[in-house]
Amino acid sequence: MNDMMNAVAEGEGRAAEAAAAIAESPAVSRSTSGEVKIHCVDVNVSYGDTKAIKEVSIDIEDKAVTAFIGPSGCGKSTFLRCLNRMNDTIDICKVTGKIELDGGNIYAEDVDPVQLRARVGMVFQKPNPFPKSIYDNVAYGPRIHGLAANKAELDNIVEQSLKRAALWEEVKDRLDQPGTGLSGGQQQRLCIARAVATAPEVLLMDEPCSALDPIATAQIEELIDELRQSYSVVIVTHSMQQAARVSQKTAFFHLGLMLEYDETGKIFTAPSHEKTLQYITGRFG
Amino acid sequence: MTTTVDFNELSAKHTGDANKSRLRARYWAEMRLKAYGIAAIGIAAAALLLLVSTIATKTANVVYEYYVQLEGQIDVSDRDRERLADPNPRMRANLRRVVQGSLTDAIPGEIGRREGRQLTGLVSGDAGLFLGDRVKAEPDLVGQTARFDALLDDNMQLYLKGAIGRPDAIDSAGVLSVAPGEEEGTVVVRFGASEIGPIFGAVRAQRAEDAERARAEQRRQQNAVDVTEARLLAAETDEERKALTTQLERFTTARERAEVEANALDRLATSIGGGTRYELTGRDPSLLFKVGDGWIKITEVERGEGLGQVYLPLGDRAEFEEGDWQAFVMARPEGERLQTDRQIVWMEYFSDQGKIVRAFNTRILSSSDSASAELAGIWGAVVGSFWTMVVTFLLAFPLGVMASIYLEEFAPKNRVTDLIEVNINNLAAVPSIVFGLLGLAIFVSGVPVNLFGNEFTIGGFLPRSSPLAGGTVLALMTLPTIIIAGRASIRAVPPSIRDAALGLGASKLQTATHHVLPLAMPGILTGSIIGMAQALGETAPLLLVGMNSFIQEPPGDPLAPGNVLPTLIYQWNSNSERLFDDKTAAAISVLLIFLVVMNALAVLLRKRFERRW
Amino acid sequence: MLPYASLLIALLACTAFAVCRQRAVTSAEGKLASLHSRPAYHGLYALLWVAIAGFGTFIVIDIAATAIMNASLYAMIAERAPDLRPIEQSLVFTDAIKLATGGVSSTVDDLRETIAARYESVNFTRVLAISILGIAAAATAFYVTYHQVDRTFRARHRAERILRTMLWTAATIAILTTVGIVLSLIGETIIFFQRIGWNVDDFVFGTTWAPLAGVQEGSLDPSKVGAIPLFVGTLMITIIAMLVAVPVGLFAAVYLSDFASKQTRAWAKPLLEILAGIPTVVYGFFAAITVAPAIRDFGASIGLSVASESALAAGMVMGIMIIPFISSLSDDVINAVPQSLRDGSYALGATKAETIQKVILPAALPGIVSAVLLGTSRAIGETMIVVMAAGQGAQMTLNPLDAVTTVTVQIVMLITGDTEADTAAAPAFTLGFTLFCVTLVLNVVALRVVRRYREMYD
């Protein structure tokens, strides 16, 4: 009994921390453009016979960071991978419902996933730089999509992308060295630079900091906030503090359902769903 | 100084029109890669199909063997009588004379001495021995007239299987008149009203074909001459020029020779069947006439008339109505085959009489090697393979299991262990012929060593050509395979089982032998069977230790000289007799069946006992 | 007699097991738990020692006695017929043994019969000595171990130590094999170079190979032992084989790992495994009977003269043989490339082909290189296909349509040929040694590369 009380108290502490984090980020304007970038209606995802996502409808805004939170196995990553059709690479995965990017259904017959993924970039949980030089890693996207007309333009794109990923100063003298030789945080920023260089409109991030130490995490979070100026960013995270720090809107997933979706501040201070409250106060998850 | 990149502009490119064609090109590249992959699989499949069908069709040729039914009086000499009475089955009587006599009786007409040899050539050299065996089993036959089947010679069997083609019937209209020729045994035939164009046509076509071949050769040589001339002009050093000039001379001569030959053949092709008399040679197709009950071979032709040799007597008639005679062409010339025209006529005669018997060929499985193609079988090699595999298994399996237990369960991490591992991996990739040299030097011949002025031979304790020597070499080759498989399956046993046993106070060795080994055994067995299958197909090392000897009797034990299926295949393949080609394919089929069975066993074992922890 | 003696020792070992086991039970005086080791281990310990002592003595005495016996017989031959050359001496020796054991001798004369008689008497003594000493050693071991049985005796530890030593011995056979290979090859190689007066460059750079042509009295003609034609032939066939095997194997692996449906994989993989399981002698038959004539006929139809045994035919068939080798090794390394790299590439909007060409293949390159190296080493060492389909004359040519010869073919020709083993062995083993060294280097490099590659992604 006593233990439970403690847990509740601790959970309330966590919620308070998150609320404090919201209050403490003064640089970030909490307002959003309000323009809808991705419009999802009744999305269902199943792996064979198991349903991973049930009836999810959500509007993701442009030039804002949207966070997906929820306990492990709640389907938030699965849903994220629907947004750029990464689930297509898994044979048994089936997606129904409507997901529209700028008004066009991305699961329509005539939509090419290759083209879609160029518009909706993705950064993964574990940094996965290609075993190539730093330069080639970043130039990979522009090269396959023919974004640069000549070497000078390509150099330019690489430099700007690395700058956007706040990595330029650290690597500008060793662009020809393998990307796998960087530290974990640097590798993740390289992956972000790689995604940025492809010039996407939306950036999906699947727990981008879970494999990183706190300092690297702080750097990435700062970076996400920068990226918000140009992209619609969707981030899946395990850490409620992180969601509170970087996002403007937050969606709470539980057992394949999206239970609540609202302004981040509201979710963490006055959630309307009981499960959300339980989760952010640490009673499960 | 870099200009700022407008990423929005770049983003727009993803949906732009230019990107559409770019995408198409990218997908086209993907299709291409896919097509290469399908082509690669296709090539592999086609190669396998071709290989299997080659072997299958050739094997099908030896599924049956052919006999001729004969009848004759079983007269035996005193020596044969003694042998027939001897209970030792190795004492065999050769009733060659009875077979020869029966053959002579079976064919109408006189047979001269030269023809007699061709007649004996119809049946296998061992036909007399087989008859002897039968008489030994049925002693009552002595002195009686008996019917028996005589195994045909390999070339006759090939003929009956159509390997060189059979005589083709050609238009034979009108009345044929026959008159005795000047020489004994020859006849003059007149075709009367018959249109004999086709007869000449066949000969003419053959000559024209030869001429065409000579022309092609001439063109080829001309081409070589042209190329060499051009190179001669471009040559820089004297040495080069000299070499090219010699070459040029050689090509020029060859071209001229081809030209002369082609012209001569052309002339011949146009003149045959004209007014001039043409003598048929061994390079022409054979013309054979079946006239009444007899057969004539035409040796010379002229318009409306021909000279022939009587191969089988025609009887007394001088004129034969249409339908009573038939002309045949044997397209392949007599000089290009091992069956004479006379033998073909005899075979056709036997066929017509219904005296050719076809029987399922069990001989190839039950008899051992022989120099005569129709007698050779694989039994000796199968037994040799069996002994070799027994030796290999008895050596490689226990040693392999012991080594894998040591390496997985006991080996400390040190340099010796590292060295052992490196050695095992390397040995798995050492060419098999090197193992053969090792076996030859150490096990068979012995390595000469000079120690303190004394000559010693180290090793050399196994008899050459014996399954023991071969099996030992193969065991060394198979060992790495078994060890690698054994270690993998021992490693797959979860540590929890070891911990449980050790926790109950079992020693490490008890844990390994009582708990780990039984669980790993299916995996080790699977690996061993696969290793044994590889060893069963291995040839080169066995050639070097002398297992390619000519073995007419299966080895009774692993110390007797023997050969194995793969070396038998190699030996048969280097024989020139056509029938050996087919028998080689049959031996391969048997080998492949063994391999399929072994691999199926391995797969079954893996499926049955596969366990995921 | 030896089989009976062996049987007796085996029997003795079993008896030792039973007796010592019983003695252990007795010594426990009804309280089995008071024994340090269970009775069976006492028995096992005795059994192991008796067997080791008995059979060990057998082998050691046998080797020594045989050597002494042979030496004395040779001395006798040399004494009776001093004019014989060493080869003739050994012929007399083998003939004499055949006479004594009821085999067929090449000729029968007085000398052979005397030696045979002598052999018979000496051999009897030898067998008797071996049997008696072996049984005596076994009995001694039995006696000693019997008296060791005691309640506190650590029989299990002792027995396990023996068994572990046996396991260790089995494991070291791999090393012994390698040592054996090197020893057996290097002796004859030294003899070979001695015979050509250590003109190593004549062997490595000479262009005429006819080692048996200029043989006289233990020396070879250095101008006829040039191995360049063999090296060129081997290289040419290897290149042809790799030109077939590498693209086909690699494309097949790429297709099967990233494009093919489950159903396609279900038949294509076994198909490749079947190709891998076909013995090389069958490929040799296929090359000689089907492929070589087909290439010759095709060549003739377009006006090329192709030898009936051409390097092209042998190389192509060898290539087919190596396809599964390349494809399965490449398949392994391609599958070892982590899925995260594929995901990373797809997420950037790359197509499958782009992912394979630009990410997976470069990442798998070390593994593929080592597969190609191992394949090359196989092609160089392959024997049967070339023996049956590439020809035997050692002519030097760069034309793949001509017959060429290879190192392995010459080894087989020299060893299985009619020439005296003594003369043919030196060049054959030298070629074998060369082959071993070249393939060893290729294998070591390949295994190193692949190991480093595995470490990268583990």
What are the tens digits of pLDDT across the range A171-226?
A: 999 999 998 889 988 999 999 999 999 989 999 999 998 888 888 889 889 889 88
Helices C39-80, C110-148: crossing angle, 10 deg rounding: 160
Chain B positions in Cβ-Cβ contact with residue A119 (cut-off 8 Å): 11, 14-15
Residues 6+ apart with CB under 8 A from B182: none
**Residue B150, pLDDT above cutoff 60:** yes
Structure tokens at C458: 């583990």
Q: Answer whether C188 sits within 8 Å of B216, measured CB to CB.
A: no
Determine contact, residues A56/A43, Cβ cutoff 8 Å: yes
Element (H, E) at B139: none
Residues 6+ apart with CB under 8 A from C389: C284, C287, C288, C291, C292, C309, C313, C314, C317
**Tell me, what's the pLDDT at A2?**
54
User: With bands split at pLDDT 50, 70 and 90, how would you rate the model's confidence at A65?
Assistant: very high
3-state secondary structure of B237: coil
3-state secondary structure of C381: helix
Q: Is some CB atom of chain B closer than 8 A to the CB atom of C296? A: no
Residues of A near C (CB-CB distance < 8 A)? Answer: 84, 86, 89, 114-119, 121-124, 126, 128-132, 140-141, 144-145, 191, 194-195, 198
Name the minimum distance, in Å, from the CA of C363 to any CA of chain A: 6
Nearest CA-CA partner of A37 in A87, A95, A83: A83
Q: Is some CB atom of chain C closer than 8 A to the CB atom of B597? A: no
Nearest CA-CA partner of C96 in C81, C79, C115, C78: C115
Identify the DSSP state of B2.
P
| DSSP string computed for B517-578 | HHHHHHHHHHHHHHHHHHHHH--HHHHHTTTTS--SS--SSTTS----HHHHHHHHHT---H
**Residue A151, pLDDT above cutoff 50:** yes
Chain A positions in Cβ-Cβ contact with residue C345 (cut-off 8 Å): 130, 140
Residue B496, Ramachandran bin (φ over 0: left; ψ between -120 and 50: alpha; else beta)? alpha
Q: How far apart are CA B390 and CA B558, in angstroms?
A: 9
Chain B positions in Cβ-Cβ contact with residue A200 (cut-off 8 Å): 11
Element (H, E) at A47: strand A36-47
User: With bands split at pLDDT 50, 70 and 90, how would you rate the model's confidence at A30?
Assistant: very low
CA dihedral B239, B244, B247, B251 (to 10 degrees): -170
**Residue B563, pLDDT above cutoff 70:** yes
Name the minimum distance, in Å, from the CA of C457 to any CA of chain A: 11
Chain C positions in Cβ-Cβ contact with residue A129 (cut-off 8 Å): 344
Q: Is some CB atom of chain B closer than 8 A to the CB atom of C346? A: no
Residues 6+ apart with CB under 8 A from C227: C203, C204, C206, C209, C407, C431, C434
Q: How many CA atoms lie within 13 A of A15 on its CB side?
A: 20
**Residue C141, pLDDT above cutoff 80:** yes
Q: Which residue of A has its CA nearest to B18?
A: A146
CA dihedral C65, C71, C74, C80 (to 10 degrees): -100
Cα angle B71, B72, B73 (rounded to 5 degrees) comes to 150
Among A77-81, B218-222, B593-597, which range has the highest average pLDDT? B593-597
Residues 6+ apart with CB under 8 A from A203: A120, A121, A122, A123, A192, A195, A196, A227, A231, A232, A233, A234
Of C168, C277, C440, the CB nearest to B595: C277
**Tell me, what's the pLDDT at A18?**
60
CB neighbours of residue A75 within 10 Å? 22
CB neighbours of residue A33 within 10 Å? 12
Structure tokens at C201: 């460059």
> Which positions 123-142 of A are in contact with B (Cβ < 8 Å)?
142
Mean pLDDT for B227-237 is 80
Nearest CA-CA partner of B118 in B150, B149, B153: B153
Q: Residue B350's Cα: distance from chain center in Å?
A: 29
What are the tens digits of pLDDT across the range A97-123?
A: 899 998 888 988 888 888 899 999 999
Q: Answer whether C320 sits within 8 Å of B44, measured CB to CB.
A: yes
> Which positions 267-286 of C are in contact with B (Cβ < 8 Å)?
268, 271-272, 274-275, 277-286
Identify the DSSP state of B331.
S
**Residue B1, pLDDT above cutoff 50:** no
Nearest CA-CA partner of A21 in A270, A265, A266: A265
User: With bands split at pLDDT 50, 70 and 90, how would you rate the model's confidence at C233?
Assistant: very high
What are the tens digits of pLDDT across the range C392-444?
A: 776 778 888 888 899 999 999 999 887 776 778 889 999 999 999 999 999 99
Q: How far apart are CA C231 and CA C237, in angstroms?
A: 10
Nearest CA-CA partner of A258 in A40, A47, A24: A40
Element (H, E) at C253: helix C228-254
Of C160, C259, C443, the CB nearest to B426: C443
Average pLDDT, chain A: 85
Q: For B179-183, B204-208, C115-119, C222-226, which range has the lowest pLDDT when averaged over its residues?
A: B204-208
Residue B291, Ramachandran bin (φ over 0: left; ψ between -120 and 50: alpha; else beta)? beta
**Residue A27, pLDDT above cutoff 80:** no
**Residue B449, pLDDT above cutoff 80:** no
3-state secondary structure of B456: strand
Determine contact, residues A59/A39, Cβ cutoff 8 Å: yes
Determine contact, residues C55/C134, Cβ cutoff 8 Å: yes
Of B400, B419, B566, the CB nearest to C175: B419
Chain B positions in Cβ-Cβ contact with residue A121 (cut-off 8 Å): none
Residues of B near A (CB-CB distance < 8 A)? Answer: 2-5, 7-8, 10-11, 13-15, 18-19, 22-23, 26
**Tell me, what's the pLDDT at B109?**
82
Of A89, A131, A198, the CB nearest to C348: A198
Name the minimum distance, in Å, from the CA of A145 to any CA of chain C: 8
What are the tens digits of pLDDT across the range C81-129?
A: 887 776 677 778 777 877 777 666 667 788 888 888 888 888 888 888 8
Among B53-62, B88-97, B408-417, which range has the highest average pLDDT? B53-62
Chain A contact partners (≥3 CB pairs within 8 A): B, C
Amino acid at A74: C
Helices C155-195, C421-457: crossing angle, 10 deg rounding: 120
Q: Is some CB atom of chain C closer than 8 A to the CB atom of B581? A: yes
User: With bands split at pLDDT 50, 70 and 90, how would you rate the model's confidence at C202?
Assistant: confident
Q: How far apart are CA A69 and CA A59, in angstroms?
A: 16
Structure tokens at C83: 């004019």
Amino acid at B590: V
Chain C positions in Cβ-Cβ contact with residue A89 (cut-off 8 Å): 342-343, 346
Q: How far apart are CA B198 and CA B204, in angstroms?
A: 9
User: With bands split at pLDDT 50, 70 and 90, how would you rate the model's confidence at B359?
Assistant: very high
Name the minimum distance, in Å, from the CA of C328 to any CA of chain B: 13
Q: How far apart are CA C118 and CA C116, in angstroms?
A: 5
**Tell me, what's the pLDDT at A249?**
92
As for the ipTM of the complex, it is 0.89
Chain A positions in Cβ-Cβ contact with residue C349 (cut-off 8 Å): 114-119, 141, 144-145, 198
Chain A positions in Cβ-Cβ contact with residue C351 (cut-off 8 Å): 114, 144
Nearest CA-CA partner of C319 in C311, C330, C329: C311
How many inter-chain contacts (B to C, CB under 8 Å) are there?
281
Chain C contact partners (≥3 CB pairs within 8 A): A, B
Q: Is some CB atom of chain B closer than 8 A to the CB atom of A111? A: no
Chain C positions in Cβ-Cβ contact with residue A144 (cut-off 8 Å): 348-351, 354, 358
Q: Scanning the structure block, which residue is given the tokens 């191969």?
A: B311
Going by DSSP bridges, is the β-strand pair A65-69/A232-236 parallel, antiparallel, or unpaired? parallel
Label residue C8 exposed, middle or buried (CB < 10 Å: 0-12, 13-18, 19+). middle
Label residue C200 exposed, middle or buried (CB < 10 Å: 0-12, 13-18, 19+). exposed
Determine contact, residues C392/C274, Cβ cutoff 8 Å: no
Identify the DSSP state of C357.
I
Of C340, C346, C349, the CB nearest to A89: C346
Q: How far apart are CA A115 and CA A110, in angstroms?
A: 11
Backbone angles phi, psi at B125, to 5 degrees: -60, -25
**Residue B561, pLDDT above cutoff 50:** yes
Q: Is some CB atom of chain B closer than 8 A to the CB atom of A157? A: yes
Of B3, B11, B22, the CB nearest to A200: B11
Structure tokens at C205: 């750079």
Chain B contact partners (≥3 CB pairs within 8 A): A, C
**Tell me, what's the pLDDT at A28?**
43
Q: Answer whether A155 sits within 8 Å of B19, measured CB to CB.
A: no
Q: Answer whether C412 sits within 8 Å of B54, measured CB to CB.
A: no
Q: How far apart are CA B29 and CA B31, in angstroms?
A: 5
Q: Answer whether A121 sits within 8 Å of C358, measured CB to CB.
A: no
User: With bands split at pLDDT 50, 70 and 90, how would you rate the model's confidence at A29?
Assistant: very low
Of C166, C255, C429, the CB nearest to B41: C255
Tell me what percent of the residues of chain C surpass a pLDDT of 90: 42
Q: Is some CB atom of chain C closer than 8 A to the CB atom of B430? A: yes
β-strand partners of B456: B449
pTM of the model: 0.86
Residues 6+ apart with CB under 8 A from C55: C6, C9, C134
